[in-house]
Structure 1
Amino acid sequence: ENIPNEEAIARLKEKTSFHKVRSLDKFICRNYFIDFNTMQLHYEPSIKSFMCRDVPYIDLCDLSEVRKGWESDRFNVIDAKFRRKLHASIGPKNLPQLEEENCFSLVFDNGMKTEDLVAPNPEIRDTWVKGLSFLIASYKDQLVNDEQTVWLNKQFREADKNNNKSLSFDEVITLLNHMNILMNEKHAKALFNMAHIHKHKMNLRELKEDTLDREEFLVFYQLLNQRLELEKLFRKYSVNSTCIMGPEELRDFLVDEQKLTGSSSIEAYRLALIRGCRCLELDVWDGDDGEPIIYHGYTLTTKITLRDVLKTIHKYAFKTSQYPIILSMENHLSIEQQIKMAELMRDILQDYLYVTPVDKNKSHLPSPEALVRKILIKGKKLPQLKPKKLIKLKKALDLNPIKESESEESDARDDEEEDEGDESDDEMSDNEITVEANDANIETNAENTSQSKTENKTQNTNNTENKEKSKDHNASNSDNHNKLGHTYKLAKEFSDLVNYCAAKKFVSFDDCLNKKKWKYYEMVSLEETKSESLSKNKTKNDDSDEDTAETGGEAASTVKSKFPYVNFTRKHLVRVYPKGTRTDSSNYNPITHWNVGAQLVALNYQTCDKPMLFNEALFAMNGKCGYILKSEYLRKGKEYGVSGKTSVVNSPTGKVKKVWITIISGQCIPKPGNSFEGEIIDPYVKLKVYGHSADSFEFKTDSVKNNGFNPIWEQSCEFIIRLPEMAFISFAVKDQSNTGKNAVLGQYMLAFRAIMKGYRTINLVDSENRPISPASLLVHVRFEDVADYWSPE
């Protein structure tokens, strides 16, 4: 650990023997070293086969991090076997160094692939981890500062098929095809010769082969990269129609055009957190070794331990955002393993776990700022019963699930309810006292407490003893249990971790909006089709009464919406989850649910489809912190129409927008799948508006034949956006094909609220929402207010 960076990096040049872990019983010995000329990690078998000709390598630009210890899916399996004392069956007998202190993992940029290695000893492991981590960090800094050069270096390496660190003319022609540049050989040869600096300095007879080195290749690229559309823009604002802008011309450009003066893998959880996800669903089931496991029940998905997932959450929870995380618990556990789950949460999440009880004197949820770096648990919570009911349950079940302090609080509240004419003990509804874990999608907010492990163990022991008693008196308890109409399948140790996200069964919005029945910290989970159906329901009474809501300590006038869904989500959380028939992990359209105020719209992060692009676009507006302020019309209750057919709509910003977008040009558009093979593409751009149904709009440019390198379209469209806060705009670059489906070459989705006026560059992403730098579009955007409100009628 104390070795200087310079020394650690120097040692990476030397071949070092590691064992690569393929599976529990297969290890491959390889020699690894760094080639600093190409910034590649090379590896070769320790004993070369006569069939092994080229040395394989890993580009450092393809790595995202290096992890010490057993911090990958493959190592987690080994870790589980060690915990279960099955390590004698792991691996060959001649690998005694398979200990966590000798292991590390290289994590690739997509996060789903790792190279798991075992070093001869901890010192070598630490040296390589430190050296590689420094190189990867340095490379990422370079990528930020000079993205174009990094991309060009990668193109050069991939085109250099014989690894001689130079490109022949044939290799250059192949590269031009890969970069989607149609050029006849005569023109290409002329540029090749112009870039061939050494050819002009040396006698041709001294050159063994006509090639471009790395420096000359950069010159060749500069000769290719003429931006005629930018030259035209410069001439428009420049002095005497040249390509030079003076200070005054630059000011005119900025003011006129840019408007600057205006106003089921562990890795899957890690990636979701890194991408800013703030609510994770954990589907927990009983494990064979007494510890909970996570998988989607009644499916063939891989099983992983809750312990490993919690460790990953603890490590990556606040890497991207400091704001709170909600763990939505799908609880299918027995009482014993619920107790174990609560113990694991306290032990692993530590100070992040929020366990402070809710303040019953308040009437609204705390802001995310008040819960910075805290993890909350969403789940069902044991009810705080009235004294008479508590006595009946104690006698019937011989259980003591409620503390005396809670009983005292219940006493005080009971007196208040009786004064208000509330229902008596015997009239309490089933919804208030029935706790069935199998019916709930449990989402919980959690924070660590000061309780010692000894206290936790004491609680676990007491719970176990109570369970044994209940088993002894199973028959009598069952009868009384059924007479009372209560089902208790929830461990108190887990219930105590639930506070601001207490799950409650949904009956109707009329029931939910009853302030006597529903507390501000209680929430509901709705299946996607149920949520969509409810979003269209209106109240029978259409009066727009005004309420007073506290906002930042000041009274603000709000208008009751005609949609009870909207009214409920002003003070309560609603989580929407995919329907059970989505076994392929596909996603539903989240916009419908956001538009009525649902805060937690659960999507499958492993599936990068259009709904996921909406999600990325929405939360990109707030620095990917995972939270964004609701639209004004949802907070203050302006009327709006969900269907877009019958309602008068006040625009969320108070203004309807007319938008003009010119798609000017594209740069470095790749072939499908970024392939070297295939014909040069014929790209076109498709623009589409999503959001309110009345704002639907599509536009398509013409295709540019045989040019993906720098296609120019210069085509414009105009359209109206009636509800800007609902709107998203999609840009997709596709390849015009006469024989098959038009392949998507690059795309980008953004919320209309994030769009700025002027000339803008749109950096494209691939089908997995990964940047495909330097592929981009150059567009010009203009919009203005054209009306104060909109009526679909």
Structure 2
Amino acid sequence: MASLLCNARIQLTDTLEQMQQGTLMRKVKSKSWKKQRYFKLQEDCMTIWYQSKRTGKTESAFSISDVETVREGHQSEVLQSVAEEFPPERCFTIVFYGRRGNLDLVAGSAEEAQCWVQGLRQLIEVATTMDQREKIDQWIRDWFQKADKDKDGRMNFKEVQRLLKMMNVDMNEDHALRLFQDADKSESGTLEGEEFVLFYKALTQREEVLSLFREYSEDGKKLTLLELVDFLREEQLEDEGTEELAMELIDKYEPSETARARHVLSVDGFLMYLCSPEGSIFNPQHRGLWQDMSQPLCHYFISSSHNTYLIEDQIRGHSSIEGYIRALKRGCRCLEVDCWDGPNGEPMVYHGHTFTSKIPFREVVSTLGKYAFKTSDYPVILSLENHCSMEQQEVLAQQLKDILGEQLLTTTIDGHVPTQLPSPEELKHKILLKGKKIGRLEDTLDGPGDEVPEVSDDDNGAEAEEERRRAKKDKETLAQALSDCVIYCKNVPFRGFQEARSHSRPSEISSLSEAKARKLIRDEGNEFVRHNAWQLTRIYPSGMRTDSSNYSPQEMWNVGCQIVALNFQTAGMEMDLCDGLFSQNGHCGYVLKPPFMRDKETLFNPSDPRSWEGPGPITLTIQVISGQQLPKVANSKEGAIIDPLVRVEIYGVPADQAHQETKYIENNGFNPCWDETLQFQLHVPELALVRFVVEDYDKTSRNDFVGQFTLAFANIKPGYRHIHLLSKDGTSIPPSSLFVHIRITEPPGPEQD
């Protein structure tokens, strides 16, 4: 059984053995809630189990693959609140992926804490570097453990039937029994270890992959190097270095050493390749940094969050530095802070005039200093909503400078007045403050400015007068020290595109509510695109969204708005689009806009087909072939099997918005086969996002969400591809996937003479 239970890559160290013996620790939820729990690493080395010491009944477990990281010391609000009671060397925090709350623990001694911190880190490293086969093996182990009720490491047919129900398989009993008997090599009437793996492999036999394999294999048993090259060229449209690629794939994915030595690929190796990153729908070359990062900031879409400090709703939600950590880890590059006067001269961050809890500004800034550049090296914009008195504004400025030091940008990069914004490349590792500023940037710089926007003679006097009046008003309400920290992102009210063109600077930025932005898109779409080619615009959700819901960012991106702020704490289609757009380019939080959106004189208007340059629509043809191990719907009834359907949604300019879906398959979440073809016309593919959604069909009420995957059209690889599904909050749910074939047909070029 051991071979099934413990991951082959895990070396049993003293640390892990100690964890397997179990440790009594305190689970802390607040200053007053601190209870003893017994924590233990299971034999599979991939599950942590814990139970209440007192009752000995209530037990819980979590998988190592759900753990994102471990933080040592008082690195959470909960542990900070008990800092006087427990020293930092005994404390640590287990952070989970997605929106699941942290687990804050206090060990009995510093040695015990270290043992768990080091051990967990070792196991997380194994979990995150697993390849597809190891992930599936691990997934089988997890299910085996769940179903093996009497924990004897073997399973009779009844247990196997219950397991199939848990795994979303509704199977003919005779067929299941036949597979069970074939796998029971020892004829003991139970499956153990490798027998269970055999049973699982027979269960997951993929006919659709087998027939594709046979199409290219002459003997139906293997693909020779040249047969694989043919497949890669003809189906996957890989045209460069195909032979080298074929060799690489065989070396990487062929499990049999003899086959590898002969440079051939077996069915197992072929399936491994199809399920690998190279067989994914997402172009692996676009996962890393692949765009030009030397253009002005306004030429990029920037991943941006609204009310970053909230992890629930806007009225009573909990304010937390966790909101900042999560957003930064997701590659967010524009964060929001609402500052209000706090007790003892300490400014606080919370949602004003509501019941949300409060956090000291100092804590937000030190969190920012710590996490700003862990996921991305490119600049972070701190959007400051300042409601503080003059005294506490001085404190804000002091804390920003003291805590962030060199990271805070306090002057232009070359000492001159900018004629255009600097690039993400030039601003690497810098934090930019966005807020009000007294007067103009050139007033604070030494020497004359390089170039200031033209002001015509007849309104020069009026313009200068208005400028003086505004500066005087700002001086009365804004501390000079805080004003001096604002360089490239000076907040200015928006007074129309004409006004901006004649009087604004590239270093100024306007914020618009979603409703105001929609009106401008409707009435002046082209002007909006032109404006965003040289100046930044921030869009924020309407004040009516007290439930922290989101608007669709797509319509704002269609006119080139860079800072489209969303409530990162709220899962759903809008955040899927945001994650989908920013999952490319090394997850750095910046995505370069298409060329026709970077030109100040562009004619492009998303709502007007006559303004789109290009040879005509591209045709995207998606054959939805099959699904693999789809998860059950959360909170579904015991034994309920899903009836899955796939919907493909296109988001882009209004003319490209579309969705189509397959029929649903009854009672099969394990290996449904649709084999249906959906087709879409894309007029502006550069702006299109494609979202694949799997739902559980329900004839009496709304369909339930099962999984989704969203990506920019620009990142799609044609051919036979797997789509690895994500949960509602954007975390992966291996081994759930869809198998599809993608064809992209360009419009015919101009006729040749």
Instruction: State the TM bucket, normalised to the shorter chain.
Output: 0.7 to 0.9
Inter-partner Cα distance in structure 2 for 1:161 and 1:292: 55
Inter-partner Cα distance in structure 2 for 1:755 and 1:745: 22
1:256 aligns with 2:234: yes
Name the residue aligned to 2:437: 381
Inter-partner Cα distance in structure 2 for 1:670 and 1:153: 16
- Compared with structure 1, are the counterparts of its residues 44 and 765 closer, same or farther at alpha carbon in structure 2 (3 Å cutoff)? closer
- Compared with structure 1, are the counterparts of its residues 564 and 740 closer, same or farther at alpha carbon in structure 2 (3 Å cutoff)? closer
Name the residue aligned to 2:162: 174
Q: How much is the aligned-residue C-alpha RMSD, in angstroms? A: 3.0
Inter-partner Cα distance in structure 1 for 2:464 and 2:164: 76
Inter-partner Cα distance in structure 1 for 2:226 and 2:518: 54
Q: CA deviation at 1:570?
A: 1.6
- Whether the 8 Å contact between 1:764 and 1:777 is mirrored in structure 2 is yes
- Compared with structure 1, are the counterparts of its residues 415 and 321 closer, same or farther at alpha carbon in structure 2 (3 Å cutoff)? closer
Name the residue aligned to 1:643: 607
- Encode CA deviations 1:231-269: one digit per residue, 9 max, x unaligned: 1111222205x2432222211111111111179232222
1:216 aligns with 2:195: yes
User: Which of the residues 30, 50, 60 maps onto 1:43?
Assistant: 50
Inter-partner Cα distance in structure 2 for 1:71 and 1:312: 9
Q: CA deviation at 1:786?
A: 1.3
- Whether the 8 Å contact between 2:365 and 2:403 is mirrored in structure 1 is yes
Inter-partner Cα distance in structure 1 for 2:393 and 2:582: 33
Instruction: Show the 5 A alignment for 1:144-293.
Output: 146-197=134-185, 199-200=186-187, 210-240=189-219, 242-261=220-239, 264=310, 265-293=320-348
Name the residue aligned to 1:69: 73
Identity within the alignment, % = 38
Q: Secondary structure at the match of 1:155?
A: helix
Name the residue aligned to 1:510: 498
Q: CA deviation at 1:336?
A: 1.6
1:28 aligns with 2:35: yes
1:526 aligns with 2:512: yes
Counterpart amino acid of residue 230 in structure 2: D
Counterpart amino acid of residue 215 in structure 1: E
User: Which of the residues 663, 667, 670 maps onto 1:702?
Assistant: 663
Q: CA deviation at 1:675?
A: 5.2
Inter-partner Cα distance in structure 2 for 1:69 and 1:148: 34
- Compared with structure 1, are the counterparts of its residues 301 and 168 closer, same or farther at alpha carbon in structure 2 (3 Å cutoff)? farther
Name the residue aligned to 2:119: 131
Name the residue aligned to 1:558: none
Name the residue aligned to 1:337: 392
User: Which of the residues 597, 605, 629 maps onto 2:568?
Assistant: 605
- Compared with structure 1, are the counterparts of its residues 127 and 770 closer, same or farther at alpha carbon in structure 2 (3 Å cutoff)? closer
1:591 aligns with 2:598: no
- Compared with structure 1, are the counterparts of its residues 699 and 27 closer, same or farther at alpha carbon in structure 2 (3 Å cutoff)? closer
User: Which of the residues 562, 568, 571 maps onto 2:534?
Assistant: 571
- Compared with structure 1, are the counterparts of its residues 493 and 145 closer, same or farther at alpha carbon in structure 2 (3 Å cutoff)? farther
- Encode CA deviations 1:610-641: one digit per residue, 9 max, x unaligned: 12111111112212111111111112354333
Inter-partner Cα distance in structure 2 for 1:137 and 1:373: 27
1:749 aligns with 2:735: no
Q: Secondary structure at the match of 1:608?
A: coil
Inter-partner Cα distance in structure 2 for 1:575 and 1:284: 19
- Whether the 8 Å contact between 1:655 and 1:788 is mirrored in structure 2 is no
Q: Secondary structure at the match of 1:146?
A: helix
1:326 aligns with 2:289: no
Inter-partner Cα distance in structure 1 for 2:170 and 2:445: 80
1:782 aligns with 2:743: yes
Q: CA deviation at 1:286?
A: 1.5
Q: CA deviation at 1:416?
A: 9.7
- Encode CA deviations 1:312-367: one digit per residue, 9 max, x unaligned: 22222122111111111111111122121222222222332222236434411111
- Compared with structure 1, are the counterparts of its residues 690 and 57 closer, same or farther at alpha carbon in structure 2 (3 Å cutoff)? closer
- Whether the 8 Å contact between 1:294 and 1:306 is mirrored in structure 2 is yes
Q: CA deviation at 1:54?
A: 6.8
User: Which of the residues 719, 722, 744 maps onto 2:683?
Assistant: 722
- Whether the 8 Å contact between 2:617 and 2:684 is mirrored in structure 1 is yes
Inter-partner Cα distance in structure 2 for 1:357 and 1:310: 22
Name the residue aligned to 1:83: none
Inter-partner Cα distance in structure 2 for 1:407 and 1:664: 62
Name the residue aligned to 2:408: 353
Gap regions ≥5 residues in structure 2: 1-10, 241-284, 286-309, 311-319
- Compared with structure 1, are the counterparts of its residues 698 and 417 closer, same or farther at alpha carbon in structure 2 (3 Å cutoff)? closer
Counterpart amino acid of residue 755 in structure 1: I
Inter-partner Cα distance in structure 2 for 1:567 and 1:32: 59
Q: CA deviation at 1:424?
A: 7.4
- Whether the 8 Å contact between 1:665 and 1:778 is mirrored in structure 2 is yes
- Encode CA deviations 1:89-135: one digit per residue, 9 max, x unaligned: xxxxxxxx523333221222335412222233434333332232222
Q: Secondary structure at the match of 1:66?
A: strand
Q: CA deviation at 1:525?
A: 1.1
Inter-partner Cα distance in structure 1 for 2:441 and 2:63: 62
- TM-score normalized by the length of structure 1: 0.78
Inter-partner Cα distance in structure 2 for 1:219 and 1:418: 76
Q: Secondary structure at the match of 1:235?
A: helix
Name the residue aligned to 1:544: none
Inter-partner Cα distance in structure 1 for 2:357 and 2:405: 27
- TM-score normalized by the length of structure 2: 0.81
Inter-partner Cα distance in structure 2 for 1:729 and 1:415: 43
Inter-partner Cα distance in structure 2 for 1:656 and 1:190: 51
Q: CA deviation at 1:777?
A: 0.8
Gap regions ≥5 residues in structure 1: 80-86, 88-96, 205-209, 387-404, 436-483, 539-561
Q: CA deviation at 1:667?
A: 0.8
Structure with bigger gyration radius: 1
- Compared with structure 1, are the counterparts of its residues 572 and 340 closer, same or farther at alpha carbon in structure 2 (3 Å cutoff)? same
Q: CA deviation at 1:598?
A: 1.0
- Encode CA deviations 1:15-36: one digit per residue, 9 max, x unaligned: 4332222321232233434334
Q: CA deviation at 1:723?
A: 0.9
Name the residue aligned to 1:693: 654
Inter-partner Cα distance in structure 1 for 2:690 and 2:207: 27
Q: CA deviation at 1:177?
A: 1.3
Inter-partner Cα distance in structure 1 for 2:665 and 2:31: 53
Inter-partner Cα distance in structure 2 for 1:419 and 1:734: 57
- Whether the 8 Å contact between 1:536 and 1:563 is mirrored in structure 2 is no
- Whether the 8 Å contact between 2:417 and 2:450 is mirrored in structure 1 is no
Which stretch of structure 1 is more off in the superposition, 229-238 or 529-538? 529-538
- Whether the 8 Å contact between 1:765 and 1:772 is mirrored in structure 2 is yes
1:430 aligns with 2:470: no
User: Which of the residues 629, 642, 662 maps onto 2:623?
Assistant: 662
Q: CA deviation at 1:782?
A: 1.0
- Encode CA deviations 1:252-307: one digit per residue, 9 max, x unaligned: 11111111117923222211111111111111111223222222112222222222
Q: CA deviation at 1:496?
A: 1.6
Name the residue aligned to 1:367: 423
Q: Secondary structure at the match of 1:628?
A: strand
- Compared with structure 1, are the counterparts of its residues 341 and 487 closer, same or farther at alpha carbon in structure 2 (3 Å cutoff)? closer
Name the residue aligned to 1:440: none
- Whether the 8 Å contact between 2:51 and 2:57 is mirrored in structure 1 is no
Inter-partner Cα distance in structure 1 for 2:474 and 2:401: 29
Inter-partner Cα distance in structure 2 for 1:304 and 1:113: 18
